[in-house]
Amino acid sequence: MKVSTMAEMMASGEQPEILFWVGCAGSFDQRAQKITKAFATILNKAGVKYAILGKEEACTGDPARRAGNEFMFQMMAYQNIQILNGYNIKKIVTTCPHCFNTLKNEYPELGGNYDVIHHTQFLQELIEQGKIKFTDSNEWKGKSITYHDSCYLGRANEIYEAPRKVLESLDMELKEMKRCKSKGLCCGAGGAQMFKEEEKGDKRINTERAEETRATATDFVASACPFCNTMLSDGLKVAENQNDPAVLDIAEIIAQAIK
Amino acid sequence: MGLIFQTIFCLLTILSFGIFAQKILRIRRSILLGKATHLNHHPGQRWRNVILLALGQKKMFQKPIVAVLHLIVYIGFIIINIELLEIIVDGIFGTHRVFSESMGGFYTFLINTFEILALLVTIACVIFLIRRNSIKLKRFISKDLEGWPRSDANYILIFEILLMSLFLLMNAADHELSFIISKNFTPWLTSNFDEEQLLLVEKTAWWLHIIGIYAFMNYLPYSKHLHIVLAFPNAYYAPLIPSGTLHNMPDIQNEVLYAMQPELAPSNAAAPESFGAKEATELSWKNLMDAYSCSECGRCTDACPANSTGKLLSPRKIMMATRDRIETISKNIEANKVFIPDGKTLLHDYITVEELRACTTCNACVTECPISISPLDIIIELRRSLVMEQSNAPQEWNSMFSNIENNFAPWKFSPDDRDAWTKA
């Protein structure tokens, strides 16, 4: 897959309209790489001129900051802002709500001011502008789906509609879980929990959420965050129920329907 | 005789307001033991929050039935207290219903309104009492409330019922007048008591009512009920930024900047004293005001994913522990002029590491709070102290930190492979 880096674009005197911030999960995690590729495919097909930072990208510092390690966060923020400002980046799209929140809300105070959007918002824009066209045999049509709100997209940034609008554009039947939108239950990964064992309790948080997704009895579960995706997939795996819904990122769903 | 009562009344009034003012100033002092934070920008948006969140109780209406009952108690209580004006004038000058003649029909209308509200408040409080004690609502049977907090909640409700009943009894015994609710009890009173006894009933109800109000006022500073006062400033000072944003630490930002670009470092840069908070006084004054404002309703804990899956963390308990700690510190300072270390800190002795570690920073507690309290803010400040001051982190987090430092990702992958997905 041909994806230009900022360095390559600079070398040929070009400037992309948007930087795709891939994030650590999207870069390294095998499951999340599929989401990254799906989104890159969409960008290619929609004719968006974009670039990635490639090897120059580094962790935004989100998990370190939330674990309490502000030094580490500030180190990462400093490096990233140097690079982003060096390339004169104006607009960023990312498939990770944690990167999204940090870049959009926490970097400005440190000198990094960019127009940051989440990939579900960008997908909604592209669909509305007619830049994404679906194949005639829309295999998603009529399939039931439930959308799991990511905390850092939902409560933290009040983005509830964009991901739902994207799913509706495929004529999917959207069923809500009992706890959704501002009441949505966390998948259990945030606040650097992804990188440690859960504290002791009666139940794992992702098991609880997986049961709620199962209770909606839909064909699919849509996520918009690579960490939620992993947590929900793992949560569903525990019971090994063959009828369980598959967990897919919204980008993966669109990538399979795009013309 | 009248003069004696007037004197007693005046003394009682001055004493009650005096002690209350003193207690409020004491709470203000306690709150200001917190660190400075500047929350005065965008006053327009802040007043909007006061009107929507505090006055309008917007977030309460996510549970409409409870919200209506709560609104009745709140509006009823405020409006009925207009009657206090007449009671105080009567008490000072020894008059009887001083406004009744000059206001005429409007007076009857006002008292009728107060009576209807008093009845509604009573009914709402009875429902709340039953709900709190009989229906096993998870957030009310929680162990967070064991002991004083549970009694506190019940005392307030019983107190309000008593005050409303005394107000109605006072009006009913005043049998020359006739008001919409109390008139229904008047026939029973007149058939059982003679004129002199009726006067005694009325006077007694009048005195108990006003003494009760003064007592209630002075009980507020010790109670979760303080939220009827502090919800207003708390809504005013609520953060205006997206809730996913954590407070920046400019000290550390600069330290990193000077390490990277030493030419920018000022020659006299002082090292910061400490990072994060291990003690309540190291939190911001807004965090401490949050703690005093908390009505211990438990909506935060109900929504907390860690709590609902059996972890030790309860955001409500974080707020209660913070209030307990700052109260202890305040008392210590009052007794000793300066704070004499008592061998305890907010972190560890009031809030444990296990609680802090369970938080997913999902913001559910912050979103749920009807009066803009942020338990998450306190959790993060304590985590900062744990990690940066005490190097207290689970091994997995230490690995994550070193991976970020060395590989620029929380996992141990080579940074050279960051774009490997483009080739696969």
- Measure B22 CA to nearest chain A CA, in Å: 38
- B342–A contact, CB cutoff 8 A: no
Q: Where are the domains of chain A?
A: 6-124, 134-257
Does some domain include residue B420?
A: no
Return the residue of A nearest to B62 by Cα.
A183
**CB < 8 Å to A76, chain B:** 404, 408
Is B360–A205 a contact, with Cβ atoms under 8 angstroms apart? yes
The fraction of chain B above a pLDDT of 90, given in percent, is: 89
- Dump pLDDT digits (tens) for B120-137: 999 999 999 999 999 888
* Residues B270 and B185 reside in one and the same domain: no
Q: How confident is residue A55, by pLDDT bands cut at 50, 70 and 90?
A: very high
Q: What is the pTM of this model?
A: 0.95
Do A6-124 and A134-257 have matching folds?
yes
Alpha helix ranges (H) inside B99-249: 100-103, 105-133, 138-141, 148-173, 186-192, 195-219, 227-236
Option in B257, B360, B422 nearest A193 (CB): B360
Within this chain, do residues B226 and B375 fall inside the same structural domain, yes or no? no
Question: Quick check: is B244 in a domain?
Answer: no
Summarize pLDDT for A179-193 with one digit per residue, the tens.
Answer: 999 999 999 999 999
For A63-104, give the secondary structure using H, E and C: HHHHHCCHHHHHHHHHHHHHHHHHCCCCEEEECCHHHHHHHH
- Residue A27 confidence (pLDDT): 98
Instruction: Say yes or no: B285 and B201 in one domain.
Output: no
Q: pLDDT digits over B134-167, tens only?
A: 988 899 999 999 999 999 999 999 999 999 999 9
Measured in Å, how far apart are chain A's first and last C-alpha atoms? 18
In a domain, B61, yes or no: yes
The verdict on residue B267 lying in a domain is: yes
Residue range B332-360: average pLDDT? 97
CA distance A243 to chain B (A): 25
SS (H, E, C) B49-94: HHHHHHHCCHHHHHCHHHHHHHHHHHHHHHHHCCHHHHHHHHHHHC
**CATH of the domain spanning A134-257:** 3.40.50
B353 touches chain A (CB under 8 A): no
Number of domains in chain B: 2
**Structure confidence by residue, pLDDT tens digits, B202-223:** 999 999 999 999 999 999 999 9
CB-CB neighbours of B23 under 10 Å: 17
Question: Is the pLDDT at A242 greater than 80, yes or no?
Answer: no
- Tell me what ipTM this predicted complex has: 0.96
Same domain for B83 and B196?
A: yes
Amino acid found at B408 = F
Whether residue B410 contacts residue A195, with contact meaning beta carbons closer than 8 Å, is answered with yes
Among A76, A93, A81, residue whose Cα is nearest residue A39: A93
Domain that holds residue B332: 250-415
Domain A6-124 has CATH 3.30.1360.120: no
Each residue's pLDDT tens digit, B327-345: 999 999 999 999 999 999 9
- Whichever domain contains B294, its CATH number is 1.10.1060
Q: Do A75 and B245 touch (CB under 8 A)?
A: no
Do residues B279 and B159 both lie within one domain? no
* Residues B167-184: tens digit of each pLDDT: 999 999 998 888 999 999
Please return the burial class of A135, using the count of CB atoms within 10 Å of its CB with bins 0-12, 13-18 and 19+: exposed
The whole-angstrom distance between B306's CA and the closest CA on chain A is: 7
CB nearest B305 (choices: A76, A186, A197): A186
Final residue belonging to a domain, choices B194, B209, B236:
B236
C-alpha distance from B314 to closest chain A C-alpha (Å): 13
B78 — pLDDT class (breaks 50, 70, 90): confident
Contact B364 A155 (CB under 8 A): yes
Measured between CB atoms, which of A63, A70, A203 is closest to B309?
A203
pLDDT tens sequence across B373-388 = 999 999 999 999 999 9
Structural domain includes residue B160: yes
